[in-house]
Amino acid sequence: MNVLKDKVVLLTGGTEGIGWECTLAYRRAGACLCIVSNDRGSIARASAALNDDRVLLVEADVADAGAVEAAVAACIARFGRLDAIHNNAGISHPSKAVHETTSAEWDRLFEVNVKSIYHTTRAGLPHLKASRGSILNTGSLVGEIGQEIHAAYSATKGAVAALTKSMALDYAPFGIRVNAVAPAGVLTPMLRSWSLEQPDPSSAESYLNGIHALGYCPEGDVIADACLFLLSDLARFITGCILPVSGGAELGYRRVLKS
């Protein structure tokens, strides 16, 4: 279904993991894409794989306000409009308790996972007002229920959930919808890095399968399908929603990863 036909979507972190699956889903749905990433290698791989004039790849750090403004300007220069922003870029390192987390690590997590939404919104809002567009944030189930030895990351995702709801209220008068997806485990490079930081990495796979009521840890395509729905007109009366895409993990997620 071409549910995003002729829509222009700015997608951060769109060259790996969930973001890459969203890139593929949005393209199949007919969207033009401005993909923002700070990883030059993954940008090169994405460019070679896509080879599509409907896709603009921009190298930028989403924690840098000036770089984000330049990315939005490049998007408008290329496509002439902006219909949606998907704030997907994020980091999860380090996997530590609060007292073990350095100030620099704490700040970087919040700059990338939370303040980047501030940057994209400030830069893109005038264009979204013109298109009566939408904003989608990639959150996490841990933002609601917490996660052991992952305090700062969980805090950023809790902030994303609260921010999503506040933005939905602020921008509803302009016809702009704001929602978020909240995955549990998803088999991405970031999750595999997290697994290696655990007390017993060898048990991570069985743990990740076990926390989901449906019995397995999914790939990023299941999240991309939910994101596609929320950005499309099929979700035209949904705003302020934090949608769990979690295989029922919230029903029993507080299991301990044993050392």
pLDDT in tens, 177-231: 999 999 988 877 676 665 666 666 666 667 776 788 887 777 789 999 999 999 9
Question: Across residues 9-37, what is the average pLDDT?
Answer: 97
Full domain range(s) for residue 246? 8-185+221-251
Task: Give domain status of residue 2, yes or no.
Answer: no
Task: Give domain status of residue 73, yes or no.
Answer: yes
Is residue 254 predicted with pLDDT exceeding 60? no
Torsion-angle region of 235 (φ positive above 0: left; ψ -120 to 50: alpha; else: beta) = alpha
Task: Give domain status of residue 192, yes or no.
Answer: no
**Hunting for tokens 């700040």 — which residue is that?**
107
Q: For the CA atoms of 215, 216, 217, 223, what is the dihedral angle to 10 degrees?
A: -80
Task: Give domain status of residue 195, yes or no.
Answer: no
Split at pLDDT 50, 70, 90, the class of 250 is confident
Task: Give domain status of residue 141, yes or no.
Answer: yes
Which pTM value belongs to this model? 0.90
Task: Give domain status of residue 61, yes or no.
Answer: yes
Task: For residue 152, give the H/E element and its range.
Answer: helix 151-171
Alpha helices for 80-115 (secondary structure H): 103-110
Q: What is the DSSP letter of 115?
A: I
Task: Give domain status of residue 208, yes or no.
Answer: no
Instruction: Please report, for the domain that includes residue 113, its CATH number.
Output: 3.40.50.720
Which residues, including other chains, have CB under 8 Å from residue 41's CB and lie 6 or more apart?
A: none
Total tally of structural domains belonging to the chain:
1
Range in 41-50, 63-72, 218-227 with the lowest mean pLDDT:
218-227
Exposed (0-12), middle (13-18) or buried (19+): which is 187, by Cβ within 10 Å?
middle
User: Tens digit of pLDDT for each residue in 85-112?
Assistant: 999 999 999 989 999 999 999 999 999 9
Task: Give domain status of residue 199, yes or no.
Answer: no
What backbone torsions phi and psi does residue 138 show, to the nearest 5 degrees? -90, 110
Range in 13-22, 29-38, 114-123, 209-218 with the lowest mean pLDDT:
209-218
Which tokens is 27 given?
């393209």
Of 57, 80, 78, 60, nearest in space to 70 by CA: 60
The active-site residue out of 26, 153, 171, 253 is 153
Rounded CA-CA distance 181/141 in Å is 9
What backbone torsions phi and psi does residue 29 show, to the nearest 5 degrees? -85, 0
* Average pLDDT over all residues of the chain: 91
* Residue 153 falls in the annotated catalytic set: yes
Confidence (pLDDT) at 185: 80
